[in-house]
Each structure stands twice: as C-alpha cells, then as structure tokens.
Structure 1
Amino acid sequence: MPATGTVAGMDAAPFGADSGGMATNVMILGAGFGGLELATLLSERLAADVAVTLVDQEDAFVFGFSKLDVLAGRCTGDEVRIPYARFAKPGVEFRRERVVAIDPAARRVVTDAATYDPDLLVVALGAEYDMAATPGFADGGFEYYTVAGAARLRDELAAFGGGRVLLAVLGIPFKCPPAPYEGILLVHDALAARGIREASALHIVSPQHAPIPVSREASAALERALAERGIEYTKRHRVYGIDPARKMAQYKDHEEPYDLFIGIPVHRVPEVAVRAGLTQDGWVAVDPLTYGTRFPGVYALGDCAESGIPKAGTFAESAARVVAAQIVREVRGRGGPERGGKGLCYIEYGDGEVGRVDVDFLAPGGPTAPFLGPTRAYAAEKAQFGAVRRARWFRS
C-alpha cells in the first residue's frame, strides 16, 4: 500500500499519489553523499516507477573536504554550505525533518513532522560525533570535523603564540582516513605563514598502524611529508582524555603536555538507529555486497553502516550505486547487480599540493590502492571533483 504521512494529527495525501498510487515508495533517511547520489540515480533510472522521499534534519549540504578549506582560511562557513532547496529531481521530494523513530520490521519511519510507511527504506543517517566520550575534550579541545569547529580552530591558530600542538585520533572508526594528517599538515602551513613554526612542536598520534592502512604507498608518502616538516608521528597509541587545567593529554600509561590540543572526535551511529535494533557492534549491520540489512526491504549505506569499508563520501557514493541497482531489480524485476567498494581519495599535503589514492576494496585478489602525486594538478582535479557533484546534485 502507498506510504502516507500523518502531520499534526491530520492525514496527509500519499506521497506517491501523483502517479496514481502505482509508484513504489522509497524513503531515504539522510542527504549526505550516499543519500544524494541514490536519490539522483533513482530519479534517472526509475522516475516513472518510484516516488522518492529524501529526508534530512539539516537545511544544507557540506562536502567533508570543505571543512579543510574553512580551516585553511580559503572559505568561510557560509560559503561551503549548499542549501538543499537547490536539490530538485523528477520523482524526488526533499523534506527537512528529524527522524525520531524507525521500525525496520514494519518499514515505518516517524519524524518530527509525519509518519511514513514506505515500500523500501534506505538508512543513510551518517555518523555523529561524541565530544563527551573523551574526558576533557568538549571543554578544552579543538576539532575541525564540523564547520563551526574548523572556523574556531582557524581563529585559534591565528592567535596562537607557538608551543606544543598535539593532534590525536580519539577513536576508530572515523570519517576520512587521511583527514588527521591533512589537518596537521595544514596546521604546519598556518604556523609557518605566521613565522612561528620553529617555535612550535607538532605531534600527531593515532591508534592505527599506518596513516592509510589500505595503501602502503599513500602511507609512506604521508610519513615522508610529516618527517620532512619535522612533525612527530606516533602509531598504535591513543589519547584517552585531556586535563585542560594542566594541559596534559592522558594515555594508558603516561601523560604528555600540550599548549593546543586538536582531536578527531569519537564517532558513533545515531541513537535512533540503535533504538531501532539496526545495529551490531555499534554500527548498522549490512550485507557487504548488497547493503541490505536483516530486515527485508531495508538497506543502509554510508557512514552509519558497517560493510568492512572505511567511512568516506566516495565509498557512500559507491554504495548508492549498489543499492540503486538492487532497487531497480526489485521494482522492475530485471537488471544486474553492481559491485561496490570503489572510491578515490584526495589528500591535502599543504603548500597547494594534493595527492590521490584510487581504492578498490573488492578487486580480484584483494584491495588495491595506488597512490598518485602529490602535485598542484591534483588540487585542481579535487576542485573539479566537487564541482561535478555540486552540479549533478544541485545544478549549481
């Protein structure tokens, strides 16, 4: 039966009603890389056969890499926001609503504005940041994984008088594996531009065994870049908390002083997915080949899902192509599957240079991840990467 919305106690019209009730109703929760690409693909491939509702609680989209532009002072927070009002695709309706409950067995979604019963449901709610998970961090640390956080750290670096800078990955998994190293390289550039780099000591700490675990080439290139700039790098260590009053970072068995602490915050799945019973070991469990959950007609993709692949926009985009192929088969009864696990990653090296890693986690014989660059040419290519998607999703 068609999905319906109940708003403020009144029955709303079915949101597939314009197609005579014959359309398959698809609901996508979350308008990040995965949600935007999936909605676009369904519009392109099934516009006459589906009615898609795309829901997000925010009013604008921000590319993750744009936060580095804010940190580096290349853009303001307002300049990197792309309003969802610009998203317009045949057969797709965007609604700014907050998801408050999901019943995956019944395929029912409750938002702060309505109740929906779609034929097919895709959970793409992303990952949230748990600032309080690391003691002292919320009050005494800085981050650049939010637009506001990137702007705040930019301003702090502009006023910083030099000293010990400690950047720590506070938990695994986290979005965009290169981002911690990009951040410390941009901090290096910011301090060098102000003439206080020699008066500062930079240290990056991560629980991982390599910067980019899937790529030895990219990891080696990043480690060389850190060494060339005199940035200390510690692997397989984790900061468990900080004491802002004493300016001490706390490890398992020792402490380290700092003057400026920057953290990659602990990530977690949105609580609404936990309450829905979708999670296993902290994340939404999916079939890594189809992105189907254990509930029929319910898929999950992007940063909220655990498929054995890192959390990054291009992998969410790849997953969207897999789910789109699955939905085409469900709606039309024909069509082949698509293989996911592919993506590319641009890595900021500072000084205007960017590297590129092309990853295929499901390649025959095992994952492949060749590294290219870094060069200024890839900086231009990265800008084009964003421009293409901006035009595809927002026509701007």
Structure 2
Amino acid sequence: MKSRVLILGAGFGGMELATLLSQALGEDANVTVIDKRDSFVFGYSRIDVMFGKTTLDEVGMPYASFVKPGITLVRETITSIDATAKRVTTDGGIYEADFLVIALGADYDMAATPGLAEHGNEFYSDAGADRLRDVLPEFSSGPLIVGICGFPYKCPPGPSECALTLHHYLTERGIREDCDITFVSPLSSPMPASAEMAQALMDSFEEFGIRLLRQRTVVRLEPGVAVLDDGTELPFALFLGVPKHQPPQVVFDSGLTEDGWVPIDLPTLETSFPGVYAIGDMAATGLPKSGTFAESAARSVSTSILARIAGNKAERNTGTGTCIVEYGDGRVSYAQLDFLTGPKLEAIYHPPSIAGKNFKQAFDDTRRARWFGQ
C-alpha cells in the first residue's frame, strides 16, 4: 500500500511540501492537504490591500487551481488532531496517515491585548487589511501608532513596512505634516537577523520623521490611548497593530504545544511523535516566522519522508530564507539569511532599490507558477 502523507495547512510550507512530494513520486505520492480557506494570499500582499493598491480578490490564488499528480486538496475545518495515531478529524470526515505534517501557521489572539479589537485595527489578517482599505482614506490628521502586541510574530520587518508605507501614503495625500507616526516594537532593533537592514530601517525612520520606541510592547488600548508595558501612555487617532500570535486552538488541544509553541527537532522538524512533523509559524524553531523559512523546512521534511518511503537521503533543515521590506515608494530591500548551514548566521543585505522590487515580483511569479500554474 502507498504511504499516506497528510499535510495540515496550505500556506508556504504546505504548498511547497506537497509540490516536492508530487515532483518526486507523481501519482504515487498519495498526499492529502487540508485547509479551511478557499485561496492562498501572500502575506506581503496585505500591505498593498490595506493601502488601496489592490484587492483581496486580485491577489488571492484559489486552491481549486492547485492541481498536482498524487495530491488531493480538501477545504475542510480541522476539529481534532491525534498525533499518536496520526489521525485527523475534520467537519468532513476522518483522515489517517503514515506521515503527518502540521503546517497550520499562527492565529491572532486579539483578546490578549485588552481594547485592541474595540479601539484599534490589526493589519496582519486578510480581513484586517481589507478593513483598513476603507479606514485609511477617512483618516486626515493626528497621531498614528504602528504597535506590536507580542513576540514572536510573523514577518519581522512587516511592521517596519507598514510604518514606511504609511509615511509615503500620507505624504502623497498631502497630510503628512498633520500626522505623527510612532512605531512601538518589543525588539532591540527592527530586524535583529541583519544588522545592515536594521540600521538602514532606523536611518529611514529618522529621515522620514518616524519615532521608534524599541523594547516596548503595547499591552492595552483605551479610547485614544495605547498603554505600553512600562506604563507609558501614547495618544493616538489611529492604531495599526500586530496582535499577539499563537498556534491554532486545535493544535493546543492536541497536546503538541509546549510553552505556547510546537517543539521540534530543529535539523529534522520532527516532533516528539515519530512520523509527525511541524513546519512554519507554529513550530518552535527560534528562526524568523516567515514563508520562506517554512519553504526551507518543507524541503527538509520532504527528504525525510522520501528517505523512509523510497530510501532517499534525508537532508537537514537549512534554516534559510529571505526577508523582504517594501518601502512604499517603489523601492524594496531584502536580506537573504542562512541560520543553520554554517557555524554562524550569514546575512546578505540588499539596500532598497527598484531592482529589489523586481526581485520581489520574481519571487511572487515563481511561486504562482510553481504552485498554481499561473
């Protein structure tokens, strides 16, 4: 009987893993992917959505277009995970596997920051970005805060992108002088993995008059006031927040988590349950929570599964990925990071440029073609 592979989640990691297994095994892959959503959206596309440059319909890629030999993608809601039995129950049925890969990403805990849902806005979800598409054009003056409400969070430079793009958006509307922008971050720098990128971002904040408060976290919102973990109170007319992240509740309920995340063996991505892997944002890797790092994790897991199925050689997790920063004025910078293949972190930084924009577009085009044939 063919080995059964069950992938939970059709994000960067799930898409890449299914594609790799299909390429290696063809119709013999016997892979089922489960995701409750109808379409895939690149996380960085939400910046363009919230600032009115595109719509969710335009950037979404329907999962119905994900057609690969040996792969079945079902759109169902997962209700329970039994890691010991490698059995998953959904609102559509029960699935059993020989290899189980959990790639469900991270959810947002709005309730962890009192007042966030009532008095602020978040821009990390599709719905949040879409809502801000209508909110931002109505804003005309006053203090704005881009605030992070917990760590770790997805896409470390994402909030910096928001602050920079916000500056250019308000400048284009001719109201920048009537608005103050403050960026509140729990980190010691806006991009710890790349000192060059971090310095360039801080230089840009200073140039554009964006106030940066480091090693501070937003813990509560009151009407028109953000309260930080040191007791500081910052007034705001508009709050754009990054909610506290956590694994989906069904993962907590499964007993897979420890200290809030799913522990794994970093070189192999395998959990404490044999044949059960965790990749992407909910895995406790210590690496940036970013789509490209989920991709590199998927490559490692694919070799591990293929080693057990076909006797191939398993490859260790490389911990490689790319962090991209949209400046909002047509320029893009990016850092190519390698955490695990050498004795220390290697970071290659590319300053903001139009060439960087072309790199980002090529990144987008490559995955659209690879996963969805677009």
Q: Judge same fold: TM > 0.5, yes or no.
A: yes
CA deviation after TM superposition for structure 1 residue 308, in Å: 1.4
Kindly indicate whether residue 331 of structure 2 is the aligned counterpart of residue 350 of structure 1. Answer: no
Contact 2:147 2:218 in 1 (8 A): yes
Corresponding residue SS for 2:318: coil
Instruction: Give the structure 2 partner of residue 10 of structure 1.
Output: none
Deviations 1:37-79 (A, max 9, x none): 0000000012254300000000111000110111232211211
How far the C-alpha of 1:333 sits from its partner, in A, is 2.1
Q: Report the secondary structure of 1:148's partner residue.
A: helix
Question: Aligned with 1:359: secondary structure?
Answer: strand
Native 8 Å contact 1:157 1:190 kept in 2: no
Q: What stretches of structure 1 move > 6 A for 4+ residues in a row?
A: none
Matched with 1:366 is 344
Question: In percent, how many aligned pairs have the same letter?
Answer: 48
SS at match of 1:362: coil
Q: Once superposed, what is the RMSD of the aligned Cα atoms? A: 1.0
Are 1:275 and 2:253 an aligned pair? yes
1:344 Cα offset (Å): 1.1
Q: Distance in 1 between matches of 2:190 and 2:353?
A: 19
Counterparts of 1:47 and 1:283 in 2: how far apart (Å)? 33
Q: State the shift of 1:214 in Å.
A: 1.0
The unaligned stretches of length 5 or more in structure 2 are none
What whole-Å deviation, never above 9, does each CA across 1:111-131 have from its counterpart, x for those lacking one? Answer: 111111111100001100111
Once the two structures are superposed, what CA deviation does each residue of 1:343-363 show, in whole Å capped at 9, x if it has no partner? 112111121100010000114
Q: Which residue of 1 aligns with 2:13?
A: 34
**Alignment gaps of 5+ in structure 1:** 1-21
1:300 — aligned with what? Answer: 278
Distance in 2 of aligned mates of 1:273 and 1:257: 37
In 2, distance between residues paired with 1:218 and 1:333? 42
Is 2:340 the counterpart of 1:383?
no
Task: Tell me by how many angstroms 1:80 deviates.
Answer: 1.1
Match of 2:312 among 324, 334, 357: 334
Choose which of 185, 200, 220 in structure 2 pairs with 1:206. 185
Q: TM-score, normalised by structure 1?
A: 0.92
Per-residue CA deviations over 1:321-360 (Å, capped at 9, x if unaligned) read 0000000101012324144200112111121100010000
Q: Tell me what 1:240 maps to.
A: 219
Quick check: 1:24–1:51 contact (8 Å CA) kept in 2?
Answer: yes
Deviation at 1:147, TM superposition (A): 2.1
CA distance in 2, matches of 1:182, 1:105: 41
Aligned to 1:319: 297
Distance (Å, rounded) in 2 between the aligned partners of 1:283 and 1:28? 18
Structure with the greater alpha carbon radius of gyration = 1
- Decide which of 158, 163, 172 is 1:193's aligned counterpart: 172
| Number of equivalences | 373
Q: Is the 8 A contact 1:49 1:331 kept in 2?
A: no
